[in-house]
Chain A
Amino acid sequence: MRILCLEDNPLIVFHIEQLIEDLGHVFAGAFESFADLKENFTGMDFDAALIDIDLADGRTGPIAAVWLSEQGVPIIFVTGQEKIAEEYCGVSLGIISKPITQPDFARKIALFSSVSR
């Protein structure tokens, strides 16, 4: 599975990339803002997305999540702002809390496989 990451902290992108590859999936790239995602969306190839609540262009994670799920992309929030993520539970398969732990990450990523096309 190819997984995209929306996250503005490069250290965390780096960590997530490694965790994704450890699980045998492909890291499809990262964007630090919703604006970057929209600009580069056409031609991107990915099956699922991990999204933080606060991005480089503000609290745009939830809008990005809604936008991606409308395109049929399953998403999971990766955030320390669990309360806000919970308000958008309708568009996400789950929430990975920060700081990220490997077992939690692995368990939540498995949810993608359960809905994959």
Chain B
Amino acid sequence: MTAPDPDDLSALDHVLVLAPYRKDATFLGRLLEEHDIRVEISTGIDDLADRLATLPGVLVATHEALTPHVLEAVASHVRSQPAWSEIPIVVLLDRASPNIRVRAELSRIWPRARHLFYQRPVTPVELVSGVQSALLARLRQRDVRDHIAREVELRRELNHRVKNILASVTSIFAMTHRGATSLEEFAEDFRGRLGALANVHSAVFHAVGENVTVQEVADLTFGPYRLTGEDRISSSGPAVMLHREAGTTLALCLHELTTNAIKYGALSKPEGRVRFEWRVSDEEPREFSISWCERDGPAVEDPAHAGYGTRYLRAALTGMFGQKPVIAFHPEGLRCEARGPLSRVNGNP
């Protein structure tokens, strides 16, 4: 939703003219149209309600047009305005008319309208500038309307995201609880997983357009574990932009792989190393692949049953790539590879 250009007169609403006598309507219409203002002319009470329903930006009425029927039709329109709306109404009075009384009366029956009174004879420049000013005020009112609509939309989206996060946290809690053998282990694992979720949330929030690169996800995951002067986890690959969900999933997967490597894998020994790489194929449709490879750690054995980490990796990478990952308990170190269409994970840069 972009704000309308205030100098773009085509963004302005049209003017509805109520001037039943002589050639007033023709004259007013021509005058306003000469200044690029769109005009509709109401020919009488019969078409007034329909014309009001097309939401004119400004109403211009001569005093003598304001019959009881017209007053009531306009009053009904004014009453039914949405909260953001205060339609400007320009009334052309005569020198002879009881102006104070008319103004008081119109204020009473047309509340929440912006009244502008001119006494005839009005010079064209006065009237045109008055109507233009009223149309611009109307444009501002519509901006407010758009902002209100946007806020409603944002609140809905916020609620949706909060619910999603709570659902994610509940699932992390339930699954961590299930796998834990002690309260200490539970606390450490739960804290770690929530931390990974929080970190990627911040990274995505601060990123332009809620996209995050694979390198950023790798850095924020490995950063806390990188010892000074010694990069035991290397990461490399081309610039690939991930959308929010793919970035979050990758961060949580890398967190599981890293903590597993620290507890049981290559990073549990000083000489152990991990290489995390990703690639994008040249041929269309482009394929995105990731590879996690541990070496120089303790001898690896296939665990008797898969724990949270492995199970989560399988489920998450299958969802992210659209096909199952290969997780191999290779004797030299754990390997995890996954591949799938780039279009599934790619966020627009």
Chain A residues close to B by CB (< 8 Å): 8-15, 17-18, 30, 32, 36, 54, 56, 80-81, 98-100, 102
Contacts and interface: CB of A to CB of B under 8 A. Distances in A.
Interface of B: 160, 163-164, 166-172, 174-175, 178, 245, 249, 252, 311-312, 315-316, 318-320, 322
Contacts of A11: 167-168, 171-172, 175, 252, 312, 316
B312 A10 contact: yes
Contacts of B164: 9, 80
A15 B174 CA distance: 7
Given A11-B252, A99-B170, A30 B163 contact: no
A14 B316 CA distance: 8
Contact of A54 (B160, B175, B322): B160
A13 B315 CA distance: 7
A14 B167 contact: no
A81 B311 CA distance: 27
Nearest to A19: B174
Nearest to A101: B170
B322 A30 contact: no
B193 to A, nearest CB: 9
Top 6 nearest A-B pairs (CB, nearest first) are A99-B170, A10-B316, A15-B171, A80-B163, A98-B167, A14-B315
Given A13-B319, A18-B178, 18 more contacts: A10-B252, A10-B315, A10-B319, A12-B167, A12-B168, A14-B171, A14-B315, A14-B316, A15-B170, A18-B174, A18-B175, A18-B311, A30-B315, A30-B319, A80-B160, A98-B170, A100-B170, A100-B171
Nearest to B171: A15
Contacts of A18: 174-175, 178, 311
A102 B177 CA distance: 13
Contacts of A98: 163, 166-167, 170
Contacts of B160: 54, 80-81
A17 B171 CA distance: 11
Nearest to A27: B315
A10 B249 contact: yes
Contacts of B312: 10-11, 14
A14 B322 CA distance: 15
Contacts of A9: 164, 167-168, 171, 245
Nearest to A14: B315
Nearest to B324: A29
Contacts of B175: 11, 14-15, 18
Contacts of A100: 167, 170-171, 174
B141 to A, nearest CB: 31
Given A18-B175, A80-B167, A8 B319 contact: yes
B319 A32 contact: yes
B177 to A, nearest CB: 11
A98 B178 CA distance: 19
B171 A12 contact: yes
Contacts of A99: 166-167, 169-171
A1 to B, nearest CB: 20
Most central of A15, A54, A80 by chain B CB within 10 Å:
A15
B172 A10 contact: no
A14 B311 contact: yes
Contacts of B320: 10
Most central of A11, A18, A56, A80 by chain B CB within 10 Å:
A11
Nearest to B159: A80
Nearest to B311: A14
Nearest to B166: A99
Contacts of A12: 167-168, 171
Contacts of A80: 160, 163-164, 167
Contacts of A36: 322
B157 to A, nearest CB: 11
